[in-house]
Copies of this chain bind each other. A is one copy, B any other.
Amino acid sequence: MKTVSENACFGGVQGVYSHASTACACDMTFGLFLPKEAKAGPVPVLWYLSGLTCTHENAMTKAGAQAWAAREGIALVFPDTSPRGEDVADDEAYDLGKGAGFYVNATEAPWAPHYRMWDYVAEELPALIGRDFAVDLERQSITGHSMGGHGALTLAMALPGRYRSVSAFAPICNPSGADWGRKQLTAYLGADEAAWARHDASKVMRETGFDGPVLVDVGTKDQFIDLLRPETLAQAVAERRQQAELRLQPGYDHSYFFVSSFMEDHVSFHAEALEA
C-alpha cells in the first residue's frame, strides 16, 4: 500500500492511500480519516460510498464529515466509485463505466474483469484497512450519497451482522424501476432482471429488511428525485415495519450543500449504534 497524502485534520489524520486491488484487477485509491483516538487503539468505522462521477475525494473534501467523526472518535472510509486505469472499460456517458460502478460485481463484457465494486467494498477493502490501520471491524456502519446510498443500503441488507446501522443521503432507491439503474444493471449484470434483485434497495427492504436502525434523508427539491424513487423505499420500509427514519427535507437539492447540512445527524446516528 502506498501513501498518497496525509494531512492533519480535526486532531486526526486525513489520509489517501493506493493499492493493487485483487477484486478490481487494477490500482485503487481510497481516503481514510482516522480520529486522534486511533493512536491509542482500534476505532469504529463509518463507510461513506459516493455517487456518480465521484472519486474517493469528493466527500472527503466537501461533506464536512471529519468534524463530526472527530467528535465521536470514528474513522471514515471513502472508497472510489469504480475501477480505474487505462485498460479499464469506460463509456462516454457520465453514468456508466468509470465513476459509475454501482456497487455490483459485473458479469457482462466489457465490464466483468474490473467492475467488481461489491467485492471491493464488502470484502477486499475492509480486510485491507483492518490489517493496516487501527480500525475495529467489529464496529462498522455505512452511509452514502445517491448511487452510494444505493450501495450502502444494498450492502447493509445483504450482509447481516456486518454493519450496525445504515443511512443514506438521497439514495437511488429503486434502480430496477428508473433510468438510474436499469441502464447500468443491464450493462453490468445482463438483461435477466433476476440477477438485479439483490441490488434494488426497495425490493431487498421488502423481502429481508435490515437488522438495525435506518436513516434516510432526501431533499424535496432534489432535481433527480424522479430517478431516486424514494417513494418505493418508503413504502417498503412501512410494509416491512423496518426500524427506520425517512426524512423529506424541505427545499434541499441533490448537492453536497444538502449532504453537509445533515452530516452531523448521520454521524451522530451511526455513533449511537457503534458505541452501543
A interface residues (Cβ-Cβ under 8 A, vs B):
7-11, 14, 61-62, 64, 66-67, 219, 221, 249-253, 255-258, 260-261, 264
Q: Check B64 against A257 for contact (C-beta < 8 Å).
A: no
Instruction: Pick from B61, B64, B257: contact of A8, CB below 8 A.
Output: B257
Instruction: Pick from B64, B221, B257, B258: contact of A260, CB below 8 A.
Output: B64
Q: How far is the CB of A254 from the nearest CB of chain B, in Å?
A: 9
Q: Check A14 against B67 for contact (C-beta < 8 Å).
A: no
A66 contacts across to B, CB distance below 8 A: 257, 260-261
Copies of this chain in its oligomeric complex: 2
How far apart are the CA atoms of A225 and B163 in the complex, in Å?
A: 43
How far apart are the CA atoms of A248 and B61 in the complex, in Å?
A: 23
How far apart are the CA atoms of A255 and B261 in the complex, in Å?
A: 22
A251 contacts across to B, CB distance below 8 A: 8
**Chain A to chain B contacts (Cβ below 8 Å), 30 pairs:** A7-B252, A7-B253, A7-B255, A7-B257, A8-B221, A8-B249, A8-B250, A8-B251, A8-B252, A8-B253, A8-B257, A8-B261, A9-B257, A9-B258, A9-B260, A9-B261, A10-B261, A11-B261, A14-B257, A61-B62, A62-B62, A64-B64, A64-B67, A64-B260, A66-B257, A66-B260, A66-B261, A67-B67, A67-B260, A67-B264
For A254, the closest partner residue in chain B by CB is: B7
A253 contacts across to B, CB distance below 8 A: 7-8
A264 contacts across to B, CB distance below 8 A: 67
A9 contacts across to B, CB distance below 8 A: 257-258, 260-261
For A68, the closest partner residue in chain B by CB is: B67
